[in-house]
Structures are given as C-alpha cells and as structure tokens.
Amino acid sequence: MRLSHAFGAFALVALTMAHGAFAQQATDAHAPEIASGLTDKTTVHAKEQMVAAANPLAAEAGLDILRKGGSAADALVAVQTVLGLVEPQSSGIGGGAFLVWYDAASGKVTTFDGRETAPAAATPNLFLNEQGEPLAFFDAVVGGRSVGAPGVVRLMETVHKRAGKLEWQTLLEPAIRLAEGGFTVSPRLHALIEDDRGRLDTQPATRAYFYDSDGKALAAGSILKNPDYAATLKRIAEYGADGFYKGPVAEKIVAAVKAHDGNPGLLTLDDLAAYEIKEREAVCAPYRGLEVCGMGPPSSGALTVGQILGMVSTFDLGSLGPDDPESWRIIGDATRLAFADRGRYMADSDFVKMPKGLLDQDYLKARAALIRRPTALGADDVTAGDPPWDKAELRMDGMSLEQPSTSHFVIVDRDGNIASMTTSVESAFGSRQMAAGFILNNQLTDFSFAPDADGEAVANRVQPGKRPRSSMSPTIVLKAGKPLHALGSPGGSNIIPYVANTIIALTDWDMNMQQAIDLPHLTNRFGTYTLEAGTRAEEMQNDLDALGFKTSIGDLNSGLHGITITAQGLEGGADPRREGVAVGD
C-alpha cells in the first residue's frame, strides 16, 4: 500500500500558490510536496536569537526588542501586542494564552496559564436555551454571553516581571506606533473579514472598524489605523496590567459585554479585577529518548500529545516513513484513542480531579496494543480507557466545538531563554464584540454546552471561575535536559495532531523544522480521517479507505511555528499556509 510517489522522503518538487495559480519550485531533499496557501518558506538560520510568529510585523517587532538587549519575556510583549493589532481575528489583549517557558539560568521548564475564566455569575446552564437544549454554536458566540475574563495582559506583565530586562513602556511602543500610524491590511485579513459577513458586520463597533462606508470589507493593501487600541496600550504602559483590569478600559469591556441586544453576558468589573495568572508545573512525556513538555490542564494539549506519542512509540515509524499508509493508520488510531480519554477526563484540574495515570507508560502500552491489528479500529473500539485513578472523579463524555482561530509564536533570546506561546480569542474575531480598540474573546464556548449526560456531570461543564478546556499545545522538546525544539500551532482541536505529527516528523523521519511544518496534514480525532486538500495527502485516500477508515478531503489550515536549537545555532520554520515568518540574528 506504499504510494508510488513519496510525499515524505526524497520529494523534490513543492507546489506553491503564486498569483492564483500553482507554480513548481525545487526544494530540499526529503521535503514534502504541499500546496502552500501563500508563499514558499525556507529554513531560517540564526546564531543566537530568533522569533517565529504569524505576521512579519509582529516578528520584526519582537526581533527589534531582542536587538535592544531584551529577553524573550520582553519580546513576547511586543509580538503579542502587534499580533492583536494586525491579526485581530486570531489573538489579542481581549483573549487568553498559554506560555511554556524555558529558563536558561535554572534549566527548568515551567508554564503560565493565562486562560480566560468564567464569570462568578455563570452556571452550568449558561449555554442552554429556555427549553434546556444547547444553543446553536454561533447563537452562543456572537454577543457577550461567550466572553470570559481575558488573561493576556496579566500574563505579559507576570512574565515581564519574572524575566524582563527592558522597561515595560518600551515593549508597547511598536504596537502603539503601528496603531497610530496605520498598518497595511493583508490579503488574509481581508479574506477573513469578507468571510465573516453576517456576523462581524452586525455589531456597530466591528462594522465601523472592519468595513468601509459602503459596507465593503477593508481591501487588501489599505491602511488601517486604530487610535482606540493605541490609547488602551498607552494606559497599560502607564499603569501596568491594572490599567486594563481596572478603570476606564475595564468599564468599556463590561459595557460591551452587557450591551448586546439579544445575547448579553455576565462578565463584571469584579471578575476582571479578580483575574490571576497561574504558574503551573509543565506536563512532560517521554518520546524516543526526548522529553516533550507542554501545558497541562486546563489545556488538554500536553496530555493528549503525550498520549499519542506514548502509543506510537511502540511502533517503528522511522522504518515505515511518512509515505506509508501504515504510519498514518497507527498515528490516526492513536489520536482517536487519546481524544476519547480527552473527552472523558480532561478539564480544568482546579475543578475536576483527573486520573493521575493518563501518561502512565504501562497504560499507554495497553492502549497501543489495541492498534496492533491490520485495519483501522472500529467505532465501538474507540472508547475512553481506564487509567490509574487516585481519587479521580468519574465523568461523562462531553463535546465542545473549538474554532481554529488562534496564533502561536516562539522566541529564543541570546541567553537561551525560550518562550513558546499559543494565544487566542477562540473563533475568528472572537465574540464579534470590540471594546477600547480590541476584539473580545468567545472562549467560554470552549466549555461543553451540555453540563451533563445521562444524569452524570461532564468534566468540561461551565462553573464560576473555571477555565474552559483548551487544545492549545505550546511545546518545548528537551534532549538530555537541554532544549531541542520549541513549537506550537493554532487550529482548534486539530492543534493536537498538528503538534504531535510535527514532533513525529522531526524525530522519526529526520526532517528539519521547516520540512516538518510543510508536511501535508492528515488528522483523525473522532473517526473521520481528514486529508489536507490540495496536497499529496489526497493520494492516501484510497489506501486509508482500504484500511477501514472513513475519509474526507478538507482544509487543514494550521499555523505552525517552531525553532530548533542546534550546536551551530538556531533553525526556524514558519507555516506556508499562513503569512508568518521566522527572523533572527
């Protein structure tokens, strides 16, 4: 069942999108063939410092801070505040983030949880209608009901206080200058504004900002200024995070949340003032002699990535290679089994006692044994397992719909500190509400809309002060205690297979970071194997069908960014499906 034309090893031709048509271009040996959404990307090399981010303006702002002597903690403030301006559909100060941080001085990895929290007045029935039925997704999203207390600003301040070198005000200057002077609307931003017509243009503030006087989406190439955002950043520059969580900006946030006619929210000034960042121990899992470290609950990212890697580690993927459907049968069914555990057990561990043994190696070997068969697992074979418990609470399976509008960036500074940060407002343009120049998140829709199933509680149900489960998977991979790779991606719950598959490509298939990011996507979370449209992954369809999978062709628009740390320096990669870049010195 091996493909006649390998899309992994020894592929020499990459398809790239150029001026609306496909063009052929030679690329490195071992690089996969893909259909790129924007421009062809090549590996970027640097000696001592690098930023890989989803927009060139944000990446350059971060690098400029590093050149001024700033640390990775300083640069992430500049990167995030510029991203919130130039790609507001994905992340911003009205949203939340998870940060995995490597401290070079101590050699330790830690994580910072800047996830949004549910209002104190929220109940498990937040997303039920008057008949007790779950709301339709966008009926819940658009308006104030879906808005949680944002975490990004407090996260930036917390990390800056811990590891920053430059003055706080300096870090906000790049975004302030761009907001006042204007930036060029990218083709991607224009397309997303146009695609969201009927939601984004129904709210007065977003209609006035994202559409012209004739009601047309802002044209690509036009100059967009945001004086309200600049004013908000100036207040944060003067007063720190309290300038966001208290006072005029906080009042504007609450007013916007409550003002929606049909779908007002519950967020209060007290909810904003009470918001806290939580530093949490990294969740680390072994893989082929490496240590893969990421974000634990309320993210399901590191646990689910770790489970996938733990199961596939019992198979020789290196010998099979990326062009063999057998590799993808193993990876796909391991992903399905890991997602079954995710749906049953994973949620904010401050509220839900979770099994201690989700990454227990004996447990994962037993789960992997289910995959030792010639064909795909049947639907009845894919259920949550029974990991070691230790006073965990039995919960019912729950589903939540995560939309793929997020951003990931990686920063390495000259001292060797590393920031791997995934940041989000949830769906494209979040709640479609703006306040003080920025988009407000809709992260509360990451909770399960149905609070129970068959009379038993769902782990990821809404509760006051709780943080909704996430799939964001910022990751740092260590070898012998030293950082080797840092990576992550947007993509909703597809983030997990994007990151896991990239780590497999880096480790088992000896790809560099750019090649691993370029690899065509094949993901299977809930039973259907989705193959990335316009790529050589489509050629796997007949083989995967023959193995017993249900398959479909679809867009899998990741935004992977990563950096590899070598003895010679740094190697950066940026996803060709988006407009990001890696830059460094």
Q: 491 with 559: CB under 8 angstroms?
A: yes
3-state SS, residue 187: helix
> Alpha carbon 215 to chain centroid distance?
31
- For residue 136, what are the CA distances in angstroms to 141, 263, 323, 445, 493? 9, 12, 40, 11, 19
Q: Check if 304 is active-site.
A: no
Q: How many residues can be counted in the chain?
A: 585
CA 210, CA 432: separation in Å to the nearest integer?
A: 11
The residue type of 399 is: M
CA 99, CA 119: separation in Å to the nearest integer?
A: 23
CA 502, CA 509: separation in Å to the nearest integer?
A: 10
Q: Sort strands 183-184 and 96-103 into parallel, antiparallel or unpaired.
A: unpaired
> Alpha carbon 178 to chain centroid distance?
25
CA 73, CA 156: separation in Å to the nearest integer?
A: 8
| List of residues 6+ apart from 100 with CB closer than 8 A | 109, 110, 111, 282, 293, 294, 295, 419, 420, 421, 474, 475, 476, 486
Q: Sort strands 283-287 and 50-53 into parallel, antiparallel or unpaired.
A: unpaired
CA 428, CA 181: separation in Å to the nearest integer?
A: 25
3-state SS, residue 554: strand
CA 268, CA 291: separation in Å to the nearest integer?
A: 41
CA 278, CA 456: separation in Å to the nearest integer?
A: 29
Residue 20 Rama label (left phi>0; alpha psi -120 to 50; beta): left
Cα separation of the two ends of the chain = 45
| List of residues 6+ apart from 520 with CB closer than 8 A | 7, 32, 33, 34, 531, 532, 535, 536, 537
What percentage of the chain's residues is helix, strand, coil (to nearest 5)?
35, 20, 45
- For residue 375, what are the CA distances in angstroms to 325, 332, 335, 544? 11, 11, 15, 9
Active-site annotation holder among 81, 406, 507, 535: 406
3-state SS, residue 278: strand
Q: What is the helix (H) or strand (E) element at residue 102, kind and residue range?
A: strand 96-103
Partner residues linked to 128 by β-bridges: 134
Residues forming the active site: 406
